[in-house]
């Protein structure tokens, strides 16, 4: 008899799914091609510094707290000291107006620009057929777009909002706009101080969480075991998974791997599955700097029109006491060719521009590159329109749903609940009650 669930990929989605399936008493096996868990979550040490190669932080949502509790690392949380965020525009740092107090006092926007933003409430709702840039300019005005909304939202993905269809890139924001009656309020909740959960990391870095989850559920996780093929045994399953160690059959398969890997595995199995490989990621360079400064906040993004290569900088030192560590991001959709430069060139660009913006001397600690980590959410996402998964096969990814560690955890919880309910229904031979949506506080 086939086993219940196969999970392809042991990034944070696959690890969270493994936890929730275990909690529900469901049988599962998680396959991971790499020799360590975590996916894009990766922490390294250099010269005694803790460096995050990937997400710099996560939100302390109920789902994240639950996972940390389950694997015994909840006492290692480190909360951010300050939520302020800045944008470098017109040659200086201005505070992003993510709160009423910041909106009234910031010099990032002119008063005409602020009043134009407030007029958002009388504009017609956002439209899926617009690009993110078109929608933001129409709703907030060009000044707010170029100095505030564009850099902050595009910076989440390293993307250009002009290339991001609202139908995909802003699907969640448009839904929130319908609920809140204002896109400005929805945007503030998405990227600003509207969050109730503070930014956090762990004493030893973000990789603490995936490592602890793996240690807790290592009997369900097989590292260095790539899935090389998925085949349907019958019209509605089960499904045979091939790995270098052999083959096994499963009633349900959840793919959490990158778009390229998923496209290869689902080609011929799911309608439009091969087109997943066409989804683009934005390559990013991360330059880790050491610098001391007295500014308070999370860091800054760079406004459009500035003659800088840096997209933004995370002040890990100020947020989490990381001993002078500042993480600069370069490349992305705006300058992907920049990643062809060697580490010395990238380090010098980041150091020089950081000193220009912040006014503090900096030295380079290390340089890292992230080719597959941040989905572009650009025009290539129209390929998802052709995707139709067969019964028993599921996608749980940061390119078919929300990015961010809390969102990945939330989707894993939802899918695990659905699979457990289906399994319970099969055991009892009856209907099962629909599972409730996980609270939106997990965003």
Q: Concatenated DSSP letters for 279-344?
A: --B--EEEEEEEE-----SSEEEE-TT-S-SEEEEE-HHHHH--TTEEEEEEETTT-GGGGGS-HH
Is 67 within the bounds of a domain? no
Do 215 and 171 share a structural domain? Answer: no
Is 64 within the bounds of a domain? no
Query: Which of 135, 168, 191 corresponds to the end of one domain?
Result: 191
Which pLDDT score is estimated for 427?
52
2 pLDDT higher than 70: no
Is 73 within the bounds of a domain? no
Do 267 and 394 share a structural domain? Answer: yes
430 pLDDT higher than 60: no
Do 186 and 127 share a structural domain? Answer: yes
Do 389 and 272 share a structural domain? Answer: yes
Do 169 and 253 share a structural domain? Answer: no
pLDDT tens digit string along 137-178? 999 999 999 999 999 989 888 999 999 999 998 888 898 888
**Where does residue 248 fall: left (phi above 0), alpha (psi -120 to 50 degrees), or beta otherwise?**
beta
Which pLDDT score is estimated for 195?
61
Q: What is the CATH number of the domain that holds 215?
A: 3.50.50.60
Is 272 within the bounds of a domain? yes
Structural domain including 134 reads 96-191
Is 260 within the bounds of a domain? yes
Q: What is the CATH number of the domain that holds 147?
A: 1.10.3110.10
Q: Kindly indicate the confidence band of residue 270, based on its pLDDT and cuts at 50, 70 and 90.
A: very high
Do 286 and 365 share a structural domain? Answer: yes
Q: How many domains does the chain have?
A: 3
C-beta contacts of 179-186 below 8 A and 24+ residues apart: 181/121, 182/120, 182/121, 183/120, 183/125, 183/126, 183/135, 183/139, 183/140, 184/117, 184/118, 184/120, 184/121, 184/139, 184/140
Do 382 and 272 share a structural domain? Answer: yes
Is 65 within the bounds of a domain? no
Is 72 within the bounds of a domain? no
442 pLDDT higher than 70: no
Do 266 and 290 share a structural domain? Answer: no
Cα-based angle 126, 199, 326 (whole degrees, multiple of 5): 100
Do 256 and 395 share a structural domain? Answer: yes
Please give the residue that has the higher pLDDT: either 416 or 186: 416
Whole-prediction pTM: 0.91
Which pLDDT score is estimated for 374?
86
Do 165 and 135 share a structural domain? Answer: yes
Which pLDDT score is estimated for 429?
53
Q: What is the CATH number of the domain that holds 340?
A: 3.90.660.20
Q: State both tokens at 236.
A: 């509605």
Pairing status of strand 43-46 against strand 221-222: unpaired
> How does the average pLDDT of the chain come out, rounded?
91
Is 273 within the bounds of a domain? yes
Do 349 and 294 share a structural domain? Answer: yes
Query: Which of 144, 166, 191 corresponds to the end of one domain?
Result: 191
Do 233 and 102 share a structural domain? Answer: no
Q: Under 8 Å CB-to-CB from 129, ≥6 apart: which residues?
A: 165, 166, 167
Which pLDDT score is estimated for 426?
61
Q: Residue 85 in 3-state DSSP?
A: strand
């Amino acid at each position: 008899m086939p086993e219940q669930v196969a999970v392809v990929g042991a990034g944070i989605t696959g690890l969270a799914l493994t936890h929730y399936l275990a909690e529900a008493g469901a049988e599962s096996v998680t396959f991971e091609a790499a020799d360590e868990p975590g996916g894009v979550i990766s922490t390294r040490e250099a010269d005694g510094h803790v460096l995050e190669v990937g997400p710099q932080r996560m939100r302390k949502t109920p789902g994240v707290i639950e996972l940390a509790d389950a694997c015994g690392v909840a006492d290692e949380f480190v909360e951010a000291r300050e939520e302020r965020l800045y944008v470098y525009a017109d040659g200086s740092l201005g505070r992003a107006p993510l709160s009423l107090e910041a909106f009234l006092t910031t010099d990032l926007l002119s008063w005409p620009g602020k009043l134009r933003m407030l007029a958002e409430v009388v504009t017609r709702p956002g439209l899926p057929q617009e690009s993110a840039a078109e929608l933001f300019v129409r709703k907030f005005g060009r000044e707010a777009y170029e100095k505030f909304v564009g850099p902050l939202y595009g910076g989440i993905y390293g993307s250009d909002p002009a290339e991001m269809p609202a139908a995909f890139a802003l699907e969640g924001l448009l839904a929130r706009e319908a609920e809140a009656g204002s896109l400005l309020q929805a945007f503030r909740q998405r990227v600003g101080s509207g969050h109730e959960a503070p930014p956090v990391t762990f004493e030893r870095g973000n990789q603490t969480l995936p490592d602890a989850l793996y240690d807790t559920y290592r009997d369900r996780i097989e590292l260095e075991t790539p899935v090389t093929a998925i085949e349907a045994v019958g019209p509605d399953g089960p499904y045979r998974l091939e790995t270098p160690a052999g083959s096994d059959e499963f009633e349900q398969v959840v793919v959490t791997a990158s778009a390229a890997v998923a496209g290869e595995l689902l080609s011929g199995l799911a309608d439009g599955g091969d087109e997943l490989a066409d989804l683009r990621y934005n390559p990013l360079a991360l330059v880790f700097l050491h610098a001391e400064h007295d500014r308070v906040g999370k860091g800054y993004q760079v406004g459009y029109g500035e003659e800088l290569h840096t997209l933004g900088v995370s002040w890990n030192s100020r947020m989490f006491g990381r001993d002078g560590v500042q993480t600069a991001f370069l490349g992305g959709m705006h300058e992907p060719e920049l990643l062809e430069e060697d580490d010395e060139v990238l380090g010098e660009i980041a150091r020089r521009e950081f000193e220009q913006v912040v006014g503090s001397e900096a030295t380079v600690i290390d340089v890292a590159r992230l080719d597959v980590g941040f989905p572009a959410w650009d025009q290539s996402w129209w390929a998802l329109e052709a995707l139709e998964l067969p019964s028993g096969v599921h996608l749980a990814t940061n390119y078919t749903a929300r990015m961010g560690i809390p969102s990945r955890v939330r989707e894993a919880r939802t899918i695990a609940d659905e699979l457990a309910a289906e399994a319970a229904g099969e055991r009892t031979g009856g209907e099962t009650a629909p599972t409730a949506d996980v609270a939106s506080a997990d965003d």
